[in-house]
Structure 1
Amino acid sequence: MSARRVLPSLAIIVALTAALMSPVAAGEAAVVSVPEVTESADYASEQYGDPWDFERATDHPLVPGLNYLRTSNEQISNGRLSLHAEPQAAVYLLKSWEPGGVAWGRDGDDYPIDTSRYTHLAFRMYNSTPTNIGSGVFWFDCGLLRPECRGGATFLIKPGWNTYIVPMVNNGFEKEWTGIVRGLSLVVSTIEADVEVDWIRLYKPNPTEPTVITGEANSTVYWDLDTKKANNTPSNPNWGVVGTATGGELTFPASAYPPDQYYFYTSDNGAYSAPLTINDRPRPVVLDPDKAGGADYATTIRGDAWDFSQASDVASVTHIINTSTASGVFTGSSDGTSDDSQVWLSMGAPFDSNRFHRFVADVWFGGPFSLAAAPGGGMNARLVWQLGPGVYRVTDDLVVQPGWNHIEIDLAELTTEDIEGSHPDTWNNQTIQAFRFDPTEDPGVRQFKLDNIALNEDDRGNGAFAIRFRDDAWSAGTTARIYADADNTGYDGQLIGTMAVADGVNTYHWKPTVTGTRWVYTEMTDTSGATSQAYSTGPVQVIAAAGPKGVPNGALSATVDRYFDPSMAQLLDPNRTINTPTWLMQGWALDPDTTASIDVSFQVDGVHKTEVTAAMPRGDIAASFGLGPNHGFRAIVPAPRGATICAYAHNHVAGQPPKAIGCVTADD
């Protein structure tokens, strides 16, 4: 249900201009005032990069009790949502679990609605009710859809397929359509009925709309997605009534409709008009940096990711039975004796919570959805961490759903309200001793699967960063302007680059000139002039700015490993004496003027000790700089404990001064 951008031919423009200069004669086909328009700004497209068109299962997960009220037989197929509705049945389009729950996924706390931007709701829906019935759309400015936070706009539901356009104006309920809204529900029927929904749009109307000129006063005007009236049956959603052409013309509310080609005909003359194309707006999605972040604790510090490729990734479990790590997935079930199932993860050294704070997990649950404190309920997980002997912190509920859940949470954003109990501290500024995932609070037996768990740091840029993005409504000729911003609001950052947008994933190799936290956003413009913007879902920490052209760049790992201890020398060679330990130095270095590998030298307390060539493959460096992969190095450097070891990258042109790329202290 999308339309590519089209350029009207000269003949069409001339014909339309002539038509607008004089009325359409009776008996002739209707004429549309313009051949194309750009779709209006739509909440789901802009916030999720994914419109509510029911082309994907993610448009609205089929979880009764979570996203639906008083419904059954929910299905998404052929681009439509279908269900059986009991009286007062509702579809929850947006929901927040605050307070009492931690936001993740498409939670209204993470994706609130800006009521000043999106002012109308439109949807195309079928209802099997035989008569008109009252209904409404309701919004909530707090979590959990509480009545005291509710506003609403009422309307009539009609039999069959109809397009509904609802101005978001409160009709006597508690809250106006102002400020920030965190919950949105649509009552799809107030009596028992079968219901289908083709699309839903919460949108900002365009300033002008196209006009359909009929030449026949008071004729009924129809729209159609093809030119085959024979298939315009009551079960087909792809045609409908626009209205009555009083005075021989009427406005078509194109802002309400999704991108596609629309034809028009009248009740007096069945000839079709030329098409009106509603073109997709660009739909930018920034892939990196992102909310999932970069390197993870378990790989970086422990030396083994929590990927459950072996049983040792789990330190212990409590109230969990039937465990297995077959095929790299940890499988288990709550044991039916407690609502406190626990998975303690195997740890390396304690870590700084300010560094590793991005929780990412893929977890699957069997059984139905319920939050009841009874067998078959308890569909809420929790995170637990240890700060010291007997000192633990436990999050509020993470409401989960049957099937696979991909969970991403920035723990640095947790407030004291997200932590159980009365504690002045949150995740931040702590040393984490141990970490636990509680998958379910079902007091019965419920199976779950863990594919991976990670605690990641922010994405990091050390002189360079590969920004990746795509346009999910791509058309040829679209261009992107790429910005870096100190925050993720306002679209007021610094322009860092421009490029043509290709279909699929695009990569911009950014060489930042400043350090610090930077959010990235792209501004895409298509050939019709339509522009859309989108921020990254997470920041990049720029820890080193790019050097000027011709100056080598690189980084020395902050982690120092003792490679050889003198006390072991006699065991290997009784005739050899070594008085100084040696240390393993690792990192990368390159010269921006060449793809060739360069030399790296090492000094100990200012005295030259050794030199290596940075020629080891580093895929991450290739992706960031676009200069090939062979820029990594490893070196064994002798140095007494407590000495300062410094690394220097050498220009590929002889005679140029080297550049210091890092120093560490020889101390393990």
Structure 2
Amino acid sequence: MHDDTSIQRPAPRAPGVPRAPGAPRAPGQRRTAAVATAIAVAVGLTLGAVVGAPVRASAATTESEAADYASDAFGDAWDFTSAADFNTDFSGTPATVSGGALKVGLTPGDQLFLVHSISGSLATGRDGARQPVDPARYSRLTFSMDQPLTKRIGAVYWFTCREQTAACGGGFTFPVVQGPHVYTFDLAKQSTLLAKVPWRSGKKVVFRLDPVVLPGNAGDTGKQASIDWVRLHAAPDASHPHAGMPAGTYPGYTVTQRPQLVVDTPNPTQGQDYATATTGRPWNFTSATATSHVKYSNTTVLSRDSRGITARNAGPHQNDPQVHLPVSRMAGSTYHYLQWDMRYDGPFDLSGSAGGGKMARAIWNVAGTGTPQIGNDLLTYSNGNAAETSVDLTAQNPLDEDALTPKAGWAGQTITGLRFDPNEDPGKAVWHLKSVHLRADPAATGSTTVTFHDNAWVAGSTADVTVRTGSGAWQRIATGVAVTKGANSVPFRLGSMPAGKYAVQVTLRHPDGSSDNETAGAPVVMKAGPVASVDRSHDPVGRLDSATAGSGGVTVTGWAYDPDTRNPLAVALYDGKTGTKSLGRVSTSLARPDVVRAHPAAPAASGYSTTVRLSAGTHDVCAYGINVGAGSTNPLLGCRSVTVR
């Protein structure tokens, strides 16, 4: 027997027993759905032939990759060349992403959540509830794994509900083969586990791969499986029999890359920041002046540095630290993107014991009622998986299921008070809060710039850009744009089109005929007015000073500013060595008096520094300044070669 215990989430309070205003929900109140299922050796499943790494050889046939879920949903294939490819907080035993592989100890009960979701939390980032798997489009699983054991059984699970109960689950088992092998399965053929929910029975919000599910031997301790890549892809056809393989040249055939498109702008970080609009400064906790009106409860602030404030949970309610943000009558439908950058010490843990309760929460007040509006969990992962996170409070119901009535919510409300609760750890958790923002949709007068990049760029690629308001027809604003490696820019001029809120979509095509289309992360509010003349004097200015490898990753430092703003500037980082893969963003926040002396227009805090995780090998880390206001492009600030050992 193999016990499959779902991830725990808060249990509901008894009907009629609401949480008192301002009181925390005890993280010890957790709902556990224990799913026990007998594991049988799969029958009728196809185990792929052994396929080695791509080799340079004359190819008899050429075909393009099949549509792949990770490439399409994230613009980033599960090739484990970056830490973002797998959230190691979602594994039964510690897993690591290193050397271009996902490595996991071969212990029964290992659970590798490739697509994860936790009920009772707001869907952000790569949450499967935000980007579910469409089984009609992706019906095959192919992966490459090298492991040393014999006579073992693995399993694949999927769930149509975030609670991951047996009733909404299905899957199958498969024999695990010793050594390096490529495994390939038709997910629609059978489902023998849990409630045997068929693969094609609705979109999947959780998808899990368990390398080993049978009890091991004493000699198995310390042994690892190494998974080189995973593809959840469309079914091959007669013209593309090898489409499940990653791009490369193999004996007898070549597989060409499909686009891995990412639309960089417009995005939520470009929208007007509430604190900046009302006080001239964002809530950036690296600055005591910028956060002088912020108040704290159940918190001891220990220090302030480039990580923001370092603080520790304190009494009288130790499991309820609170950061009270100064807000006075704000339109919730205008400022609706909540963004935060936080880290904490210790591992990811949702239990109710000391060290657990690693989720944040927003609680706000609205005009017309004295009842606080209690937001649902905001998952905050361990340091290696943490990243600046944004959630649209109007895109989903943001309230806790057991919130007090009346449940006014956020959209359409006048917000009169706001606090951010970093965690619910009953122990003395130490956390680091760098920034909190409330942003509006990006806006422009007359014109703006659409930017995008392809993580699987090949020469000869082209792109089309279309826009629309509401549910109207898409209007093409650019056709056949030659796509270059790295950041690409296309102007969007309102012209004769009506003012309004526009969604932006990019369609990118490779020379082999494969294509991908993605919509920008935020619409842009286009206002009628004269278009400012575009010249390079409005582009960001800056430099990538250094990229230094260390035990925690590669530390990137530099400086940047935009002549059109005094606010912090976003700097996009890419790994040019692996096809310009996005490494995320960092905002300027550090004092650079040397920059101000050389560039008097630069803000005092024009420096930036962040640490990114990269696999072993040599990488070209590149930085781009993200343009604000007028300007023609997001210029390259520089590249640095760094070797990770």
Alignment of 1:389-400 (within 5 A): 390-400=370-380
SS in structure 2 of the partner of residue 298 of structure 1:
helix
Alignment of 1:376-525 (within 5 A): 376-388=355-367, 390-403=370-383, 404-415=386-397, 418=400, 420-486=403-469, 493-498=474-479, 499-512=481-494, 513-525=497-509
Query: By how many angstroms is 1:418 displaced?
Result: 4.2
Change (3 A) 1:486 1:150: farther
Aligned pair partner of 2:148 in 128, 141, 148: 128
CA distance in 1, matches of 2:268, 2:132: 17
User: Per residue, is there more helix in 1 or in 2?
Assistant: 1
1:161 aligns with 2:142: no
Q: Does the CA-based 8 Å contact 1:311-1:324 persist in structure 2?
A: no
CA distance in 2, matches of 1:118, 1:625: 36
Q: Deviations over 1:261-320 (max 9, x none)?
A: 1125xxxxxxxxxxx321111222101112434110000123221012115615211111
Query: Residue 338 of structure 1 aligns with which residue?
Result: 318
CA distance in 1, matches of 2:160, 2:329: 40
CA distance in 2, matches of 1:255, 1:534: 22
Change (3 A) 1:545 1:189: farther
1:255 aligns with 2:243: yes
Give the AA of the match of 1:144: E
Larger radius of gyration: 1
1:45 aligns with 2:77: no
SS in structure 2 of the partner of residue 533 of structure 1:
strand
Aligned pair partner of 2:196 in 149, 174, 196: 174
1:623 aligns with 2:600: no
Aligned pair partner of 2:168 in 130, 145, 149: 149
**Count of residue pairs brought into register by the alignment:** 469
CA distance in 2, matches of 1:284, 1:106: 16
CA distance in 1, matches of 2:470, 2:64: 29
Q: Deviations over 1:322-347 (max 9, x none)?
A: 33333471221112652111011234
CA distance in 2, matches of 1:474, 1:303: 40
Q: Does the CA-based 8 Å contact 2:503-2:524 persist in structure 1?
A: yes
TM-score by length of 2: 0.68
CA distance in 2, matches of 1:140, 1:116: 15
**Higher RCO (C-alpha under 8 Å, 6+ residues apart):** 2
Aligned pair partner of 1:532 in 505, 511, 516: 516
Query: By how many angstroms is 1:41 displaced?
Result: 0.7
Query: By how many angstroms is 1:181 displaced?
Result: 0.9
CA distance in 2, matches of 1:139, 1:130: 25
Alignment of 1:106-255 (within 5 A): 106-131=126-151, 133-169=152-188, 170-172=190-192, 173-178=195-200, 179-191=202-214, 192=216, 193=220, 194-209=224-239, 253-255=241-243
Q: Does the CA-based 8 Å contact 1:341-1:439 persist in structure 2?
A: yes
Change (3 A) 1:367 1:529: same
Query: By how many angstroms is 1:52 displaced?
Result: 0.5
Aligned pair partner of 1:316 in 285, 295, 302: 295
SS in structure 1 of the partner of residue 282 of structure 2:
coil
Q: Does the CA-based 8 Å contact 2:489-2:633 persist in structure 1?
A: no
CA distance in 2, matches of 1:144, 1:364: 26
Change (3 A) 1:416 1:288: closer
CA distance in 1, matches of 2:474, 2:288: 45
SS in structure 2 of the partner of residue 164 of structure 1:
strand
SS in structure 1 of the partner of residue 512 of structure 2:
coil
Query: Residue 594 of structure 2 aligns with which residue?
Result: none
Q: Does the CA-based 8 Å contact 1:113-1:181 persist in structure 2?
A: yes
Query: By how many angstroms is 1:524 displaced?
Result: 1.1
Q: Which runs of 5+ in 2 are unaligned?
A: 1-56, 534-563, 566-600, 603-626, 635-645
TM-score by length of 1: 0.66
Q: Does the CA-based 8 Å contact 2:147-2:178 persist in structure 1?
A: yes
Query: Residue 55 of structure 1 aligns with which residue?
Result: 81
Query: By how many angstroms is 1:510 displaced?
Result: 0.6
Aligned pair partner of 2:331 in 335, 343, 352: 352
What RMSD in Å do the two structures reach over aligned CA positions? 2.8
Query: By how many angstroms is 1:544 displaced?
Result: 2.4
Query: Residue 279 of structure 1 aligns with which residue?
Result: 256
CA distance in 2, matches of 1:283, 1:531: 9
SS in structure 1 of the partner of residue 243 of structure 2:
helix
CA distance in 1, matches of 2:348, 2:183: 31
Query: By how many angstroms is 1:134 displaced?
Result: 3.1
Q: Which moved more, 1:108-117 or 1:86-95?
A: 86-95
Give the AA of the match of 1:85: L
Aligned pair partner of 1:80 in 81, 90, 101: 101
CA distance in 2, matches of 1:625, 1:496: 17
Q: Deviations over 1:6-55 (max 9, x none)?
A: xxxxxxxxxxxxxxxxxxxxxxxx98541x21111100001000110100
Change (3 A) 1:442 1:503: same
CA distance in 1, matches of 2:71, 2:210: 22
Q: Which moved more, 1:437-446 or 1:521-530?
A: 521-530
Q: Which runs of 5+ in 1 are unaligned?
A: 1-29, 211-252, 265-275, 550-586, 589-615, 627-668
CA distance in 2, matches of 1:462, 1:142: 43
CA distance in 1, matches of 2:104, 2:91: 10
Q: Does the CA-based 8 Å contact 2:146-2:226 persist in structure 1?
A: yes
Q: Does the CA-based 8 Å contact 2:262-2:455 persist in structure 1?
A: yes
Identity of paired residues, percent? 29
CA distance in 2, matches of 1:311, 1:328: 16
Aligned pair partner of 2:91 in 56, 60, 68: 68
Give the AA of the match of 1:97: I
Change (3 A) 1:31 1:297: closer
Q: Deviations over 1:153-186 (max 9, x none)?
A: 3322111211111111232343111221101011
Give the AA of the match of 2:150: P
Q: Does the CA-based 8 Å contact 1:465-1:625 persist in structure 2?
A: no
CA distance in 2, matches of 1:537, 1:144: 27
Query: By how many angstroms is 1:205 displaced?
Result: 2.5
SS in structure 2 of the partner of residue 44 of structure 1:
helix
CA distance in 1, matches of 2:281, 2:165: 45
SS in structure 2 of the partner of residue 207 of structure 1:
coil
